[in-house]
Structure 1
Amino acid sequence: MIFKDRIDAGKQLAKALVQYANQADLVVLALPRGGVPVAYEIAEALNASLDVFVVRKLGVPTHEELAMGAIASRGTLIVNRNVVEAFGIDESRLEQVAQRELMELTRREKAYRGEREPLAVKGKKVILVDDGLATGASMRAAIAALKTLSPASLIVAVPTGPRDVCRKIEGEVDELVCLTQPEPYESVGTWYVDFSQTDDDEVRELLSRAEMRFMRSRHAETEKGTSYEHVF
């Protein structure tokens, strides 16, 4: 399966998630930036609220490509103690790296969301979305962070991912929806005709549009309910 672009991927995923449509306790979260256009289509089709869930890797000093943990939205810290101990990283150095990445995470969240508060996820059904899986590291960090926030259930939805990574993700969540798991995999962009970069302006616009649409939808439902009670 080749996707035309992220919009097409989101629409295809929405069809596979139709059983969650119009559920009041449903929240759709996107890993920015590429996951946002995908998640927007899902949230619109399912009549759900949309927000971002930002994850920042904590790189080992002098080995930045190696993650010793991650920090995610709401300041949730995940630490890989095996890596920390193997490289002899003390708590002060770990804290220093975590604080630096928290500052960048906070900056990005403000850039994306502005003054809007993050959506509450405790007790909610959460669909966590990205535009595809590669190593799965960011998604797994997001999953671990979200679990500390006590959602009622956690569903990961992605258009494409390698089979072995999908198996790992599937074992960590209540449900995984991955439309295609090709082998050999190569990269996420291989499975898109248009995989051009999503910029911050697009993220902000989609989040704003999603909020307005969701508010209009809830207002319409309230008006409908008021009218119904008046008649009877």
Structure 2
Amino acid sequence: MFRNREEAAEQIAARLEHHRGSNPLVLAIPRGGVPMGQVIADRLEGELDIVLVHKIGAPGNPEFAIGSVDETGHVELNPGVERYGISPDYIDSEAERQLENIRKRRQRYRRPPTRAEGRVAILVDDGIATGATLFAAIRSLRAQNPSRLVVGVGVAPPDTVERIRREVDELVCLEAPAEFMAVGQFFQDFRQVEDEEVIAALGGESS
């Protein structure tokens, strides 16, 4: 168990020390990944930004992710979603609704997206459950042609870790426990990260 996100971030940064000096672009998934991304960017002398993706919830159960959408509008569905018989019209409308939420969040954070083209891109989050959000972020970044795509996370289930490994150039996952219920169970301090903290980390002024 990690004391907090910052402790996990220090461990990830230590394993990515070989990227220090290359001006890596550290892309945190808000909001929980941002405190970690800030530590990693500082340690590796890189630049911090965020990558915005949003899960698409199932009909009648919005907390159950069936996929996700990124800032470009690209939809990534989870494997096996077709067996639920969800209509394409529902997926299209829900994706558009979540895309509008992404646009509002980008405006709230007062930061235009930084392009990853030609750079080492390090995608950071505190932990991964289903991976829907992370895989959408990976697809979004791949389309920008980074020189190297790296993922650093604190904890994820073993099967998700193997799926991630196949999609990226380098992966640091500190823990991959077989008994996985939720990301928060592996952090003593798993406080909610507020928008004001994200804005401050990105160099804006919180209000």
Q: TM-score, normalised by structure 1?
A: 0.79
Which of 187, 190, 197 is 1:192 aligned to? 187
Runs of 4+ deviating beyond 4 Å: 65-68, 79-82
Q: CA deviation at 1:174?
A: 0.8
- C-alpha contact 2:67 2:133 (8 A) present in aligned 1: no
Equivalent residue of 1:155, what SS?
Answer: strand
The residue that corresponds to 1:101 in the other structure is 98
Q: What is the distance in 2 between the residues matched to 1:81 and 1:9? A: 29
Q: What is the distance in 2 between the residues matched to 1:82 and 1:186? A: 21
Of structures 1 and 2, the larger Rg is shown by 1
Q: CA deviation at 1:208?
A: 0.9
The residue that corresponds to 1:22 in the other structure is 21
Q: What is the distance in 2 between the residues matched to 1:68 and 1:61? A: 9
Q: What is the distance in 2 between the residues matched to 1:89 and 1:120? A: 34
Which of 119, 137, 145 is 1:150 aligned to? 145
Equivalent residue of 1:33, what SS?
Answer: coil
More displaced 10-residue stretch of structure 1: 53-62 or 29-38: 53-62
Map 1:107-122 to 2 at 5 A. 107-112=104-109, 114=110, 116-122=111-117
Q: What percent identity do the matched residue pairs reach?
A: 38
- C-alpha contact 2:67 2:132 (8 A) present in aligned 1: no
Q: What is the distance in 2 between the residues matched to 1:185 and 1:53? A: 25
Q: CA deviation at 1:180?
A: 1.7
Structure 1 residue 55 corresponds to structure 2 residue 50: no
Q: CA deviation at 1:75?
A: 3.5
**Shift in CA distance, 83/186, structure 1 to aligned 2, threshold 3 Å:** closer
Cα-Cα RMSD: 2.2
Q: TM-score, normalised by structure 2?
A: 0.88
Gaps of 5+ in 2: none
Q: What is the distance in 1 between the residues matched to 2:81 and 2:127? A: 26
Q: CA deviation at 1:84?
A: 5.8
The residue that corresponds to 2:5 in the other structure is 6
Which of 24, 31, 34 is 2:32 aligned to? 34
Gaps of 5+ in 1: 210-232
More helix by share: 1
- C-alpha contact 2:32 2:125 (8 A) present in aligned 1: yes
